[in-house]
Amino acid sequence: MSPSVKPLIPDADADRLAAAFGRRGVMGAGIAGGLLATPLFAPSGAAHAQSAPDAEITVDQARTAPIPIVIPSLGNGMGQQITDVISADLGNCGLFRPISASMPAGRPDFATYKTMGARAMVTGKAEDRGSSIRVEFRLWDVTTGSQIQGTAYTASSQDWRRIAHVIADVIYTRLLGEKGYFNSRIAYVAMSGPRSHQTRRLAIMDQDGADSRYLTSGQWDTITPRFNPANSELAFMSYINNRPRVYLFNLNTGQQRVLGEFSGMSFAPRFSPRGDAVILSVTRGSGSDLYTVDLASMSRHQITASGAIDTSPCYSPDGSQIVFNSDRGGSPQLYIMPASGGDAKRISYGHGHYGSPVWSPRGDLIAFSRIANGSFSLGVMAPDGTGERILTQGFTVESPTFCPNGRVLAFCRQSAAHAGGAGFSSGISSIDITGFHERILPVGMSSDPTWSPLNQ
């Protein structure tokens, strides 16, 4: 059940084209996890793909006025499926407005597309070769009539969705000047059965909610999965043999192993930025302490001993600090301290109880959940506690997780149950860090999302 990428399909011209066009502004030929990217010559009469200036459209501008982009069909069958995924990725992020059109023959007539209000345009074609697929893709600036990007992708046919996400990421990056996040996944807990006796299985899906599949059988409940940023591995808590402990799950082999032997319950794991260690909570009496476990030696180091409940730790992107939740001051609040231990500084001072902190990969924000007056809120603040903003509220909104570029959060939203437990729902939604464009992911009853790094 673990995801895999088939071996690449060789392309004899890859090295020659890489030497000819391996420069800034053109994606050089290369191999990444079974997907081969080859630069394309610009069509006759058109400018060659070249270095583009800094993006003229910022993310903030695109939020106010989404970028109109023409995306014709790349062909029948799989070509149309790829087109649909590209359009959905760009449209669902709220920063683009896809426009359908017929594929032009030869060089596009940009005057026609200018009258449609388009700023950019995609052309290309998908060639289904049976066991493999080749997709030619060009991105055009409609205003100047110049080619911004030209690349051909070759991969196993079963990886057609990945090609679509990669193309959407390229469009995002070239037009907005920031890395995209579409070629990524979300691990989560899939919930089934009545609320009083639910089965909770580890599962994984593409970031858009497609291609969802189970990773564990459901014999034992699992919660709080977390991605290793360096490889295909998850940490999570499982109740195997009714002993709550943290486990590691290899996405390539499906094998899992317990992470360390502690006298108390271990829970709330999080990987270090380099993926070589895990920080987690371990119960001790009525409280819990934070420990780090080195994955090479399996040696462990205790970094808090407050006598309180210290939990939900998360590293800063550079690995120098952690943010965590603690009731050492009398109520659950957020604290920051050096990753090796030391003095902890409280950063949350709003009304209510704070939890589930997670540091943005950009390093500029910490997301959190907050409970006040019996209701939940999801928000962000600067690492020093300033600039707190609430993004969304509800009966229960919790478990925030940042996408790879730090621009979007996924989270769990639950509704209240009616008498007898009817009406309860739990699902995964996403929202921009400004509180813009909240949407529900089509994945059914679920919780505990965790966003992966970009697929390699």
Do the Cβ atoms of 249 and 234 come closer than 8 Å? yes
pLDDT for 29 equals: 35
Contacts of 330 (CB under 8 A, 6+ apart): none
In a domain, 90, yes or no: yes
The count of domains in the chain is: 2
C-beta separation of 379 from 389 below 8 A = yes
- Is position 6 within any domain? no
CA 373 to chain centre: 31
Q: Cα(181)–Cα(163) distance, rounded to whole angstroms?
A: 13
| Residues 219 and 353 reside in one and the same domain | yes
- In this structure, the answer to whether residues 136 and 250 fall within a common structural domain is no
Q: What is the CATH number of the domain that holds 67?
A: 3.40.50.10070
Q: For residue 419, what pLDDT is reported? A: 55
What are the residues whose beta carbons fall under 8 Å from the beta carbon of 138, sequence distance 6 or more? 40, 42, 43, 49, 122, 123, 124, 147, 149, 150
Asked if residue 278 and residue 378 are part of one domain, the reply reads yes
| pLDDT by 10s per residue, the chain, length 456 | 333 322 222 232 323 222 322 222 333 333 345 778 777 766 554 444 444 444 568 888 888 899 999 999 999 999 999 999 999 999 999 999 999 888 887 788 899 999 999 999 999 999 999 899 999 999 999 999 999 999 999 999 999 999 999 999 999 999 999 999 999 999 999 999 877 788 999 999 999 999 999 999 999 999 999 999 998 999 999 999 889 999 999 999 999 999 988 989 999 999 999 999 999 999 999 999 999 999 999 999 999 999 999 999 999 999 999 999 999 999 999 999 999 999 999 999 999 999 999 999 999 999 999 999 888 999 999 999 999 999 999 999 999 999 999 999 999 999 987 655 677 899 999 999 999 999 999 999 999 999 999 987
Domain residue limits at 28: 14-176
Angle, vertex CA 321, rays to CA 301 and CA 377, nearest 5: 110
Q: How far is CA 238 from CA 163, 246, 284, 310, in A?
A: 34, 6, 19, 20
* Residue partners of 341: CB distance under 8 A and separation at least 6: 301, 302, 303, 304
Both 200 and 78 in one domain: the answer is: no
* Residue 82 burial by Cβ neighbours in a 10 Å radius (0-12, 13-18, 19+): buried
Tell whether 310 and 429 lie within a shared domain: yes
Furthest C-alpha separation in the chain: 75
Q: What is the pLDDT of residue 48?
A: 43
Task: Please indicate, yes or no, whether residues 204 and 165 belong to a single structural domain of this protein.
Answer: no
Q: Are 237 and 229 in contact (CB under 8 A)?
A: no
Q: What is the pTM of this model?
A: 0.88
In a domain, 221, yes or no: yes
What confidence score (pLDDT) does residue 57 get?
82
- Out of 156, 176, 196, a domain closes at 176
Domain annotation covers residue 5: no
Q: Judge if 116 and 235 occupy the same domain.
A: no
Query: Do both 168 and 196 map to the same domain?
Result: no
